[in-house]
């Protein structure tokens, strides 16, 4: 009897939790808000400049390549916006780290690449958020810029 009761409770828990875990809402969030947040100011590398979408930038003097990043974070019991901001910063930091590794001073033409669908924007990024995880995928060209 105890085994049957436990099996019924486990099945009920799975049925209730399944819709939450399966959620995958894709939304656009503001880039500037994340970059200017306290976490962004504390964690981003000011020595590696960032240019999103088709933002104008100084002339490129050397191209090191185009790199993708795909980051996930725990979103359990967090607001989607907060989880997405955190994982976006992780993805941007990953691009900055690649630039540092290559000896570059900027990442340009950064686009969202969620589920391999590119979305280019100067002001917003795509984040997928579910009941348990949030994810951001970006691509950017790692370069050296001339001038200021």
Q: Residue 9 half-sphere exposure, CB side, CA atoms within 13 Å? A: 6
| Boundaries of domain holding 56 | 24-145
Tell me the pLDDT tens digit for each residue of 12-31.
Answer: 555 555 454 568 899 999 99
Q: How far is Cα 8 from Cα 143, in angstroms, rounded to an integer? A: 58
The count of structural domains within the chain is 1
Q: How far is Cα 36 from Cα 29, in angstroms, rounded to an integer? A: 13
In a domain, 92, yes or no: yes
pTM listed for this prediction: 0.84
In a domain, 4, yes or no: no
In a domain, 45, yes or no: yes
In a domain, 1, yes or no: no
In a domain, 2, yes or no: no
In a domain, 12, yes or no: no
Tell me the pLDDT tens digit for each residue of 68-104.
Answer: 999 999 999 999 999 999 999 999 999 999 999 999 9
In a domain, 132, yes or no: yes
């Amino acid at each position: 009897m105890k085994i049957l009761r436990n099996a019924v409770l486990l099945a009920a828990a799975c049925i209730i939790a399944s819709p939450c875990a399966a959620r995958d809402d894709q939304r656009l969030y503001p880039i500037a808000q994340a970059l200017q947040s306290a976490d962004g100011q504390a964690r981003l590398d000011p020595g590696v400049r960032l240019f999103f979408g088709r933002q104008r930038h100084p002339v490129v003097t050397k191209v090191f390549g185009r790199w993708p990043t795909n980051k996930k974070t725990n979103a359990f019991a967090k607001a989607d916006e907060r989880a997405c901001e955190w994982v976006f910063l992780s993805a941007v930091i990953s691009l900055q780290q690649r630039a540092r590794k290559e000896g570059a001073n900027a990442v340009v033409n950064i686009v969202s690449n969620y589920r391999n669908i590119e979305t280019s924007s100067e002001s917003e990024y795509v984040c997928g958020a579910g009941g348990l995880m949030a994810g951001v995928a970006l691509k950017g060209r790692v370069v050296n810029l001339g001038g200021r």
